[in-house]
Amino acid sequence: MELKGSKILITGADGFIGSHLTEELMRRGYDVRAFVYYNSFNSWGWLDHSAPEIRKSLDVFSGDIRDPHGVRTAMKGCDIVLHLAALIAIPYSYHSPDTYVDTNVKGTLNMVQAARDLGVAKVVHTSTSEVYGTARFVPITEEHPLQGQSPYSASKIGADQIAMSFYSSFDTPVSIIRPFNTYGPRQSARAVIPTIITQIANGARKIKLGSLHPTRDFNYVADTVAGFIAVSESDQSVGEVINIGSNYEISIGETVAMIAEIMNVQIEIEADDVRLRPDNSEVERLWADNRKALAQAGWQPKYAGKDGLRRGLAETIEWFADPLNLACYKADRYNI
């Protein structure tokens, strides 16, 4: 599908991945409407930090994905919807699971219902590698069983199934993109990589962390953004689930060591029980099989393998080390 000449709605445009995606599409000259979460401060989230030329020309809609009328209003006149709006923090899902059903499941229902009614040409719904739970086999293909090991992952499984049900039932042109652990500038400190970097950048040498043994497939945000664009453009992706991952597995402990090495510091890790997931909820292993993304969307990561991860971490560290950026984070507090 040709994105040039199409009106593109991005939900969750104010967030970590959404803001990077919005900016990249704007830089390419595409017509973007950014759906941001309404608040009384009139904040556009991370888009407030975008370049002046992007902010000046951006079409912004402030609303709430949980409101079906607002979703429909935002979608009017749009050809393509990239649906990223979601609650994503796993620890907070233990605290307030009901909000995850409202936002992730019902919000997705609002989105695909409006897309069906308005005849939208393409919907790209955002999933997560957390829906796989602890890997039963690796690398994880799109055929891997789904396992709801946290309220968050359960809500995303529900959202995925709602989205795909509209393809099966009504031929709504839905594609599901399933990014593995995205990292990079602007990521919330509830994620492990910003947690490590912000503590070190603020002078801490005893770093508080949870489990170190689980493995992850970290995907630099520029690769994730490129994945969204590739899946959006691919006609073969309709009715499909596509992993976006680096196809490289590394433990949290090894990741900490790599970050400390890049930042040229000696650190000590201090176990912090409050950061641990319940035993049966921890996802022990994630490792993406990304062959389908190449075959159906022509996507492959530029930050692949150990060297790619090191480059991505270096760029991430450089951003967080800027005092203006670092000041946006409360490194002395645990962010759920």
Q: Averaged in consecutive runs of 10 residues, what is the pLDDT profile of the chain (336 residues)?
A: 94 98 97 98 97 96 98 98 97 96 98 98 98 98 98 98 98 98 96 95 92 96 98 98 98 97 95 86 97 98 98 98 95 81
pLDDT, position 336: 76
Q: Under a CB-based contact definition with an 8 Å cutoff, are residues 31 and 6 in contact? A: yes
> Looking at 226-265, which runs of residues are DSSP E strands?
241-244, 250-251
Scan for tokens 């079409």, then name that residue.
Answer: 59
Our CA angle for 45, 49, 51, nearest 5°, is 135
Indicate the pTM of the whole model.
0.97
pLDDT, position 272: 83
Q: Which amino acid is at 51?
A: A
β pairing state of 80-83 and 122-126: parallel
Bridge partners, 124 (sequence order): 82, 175
pLDDT, position 61: 98
End-to-end CA distance of the chain: 39
CATH code, 7-184+219-247+286-303: 3.40.50.720
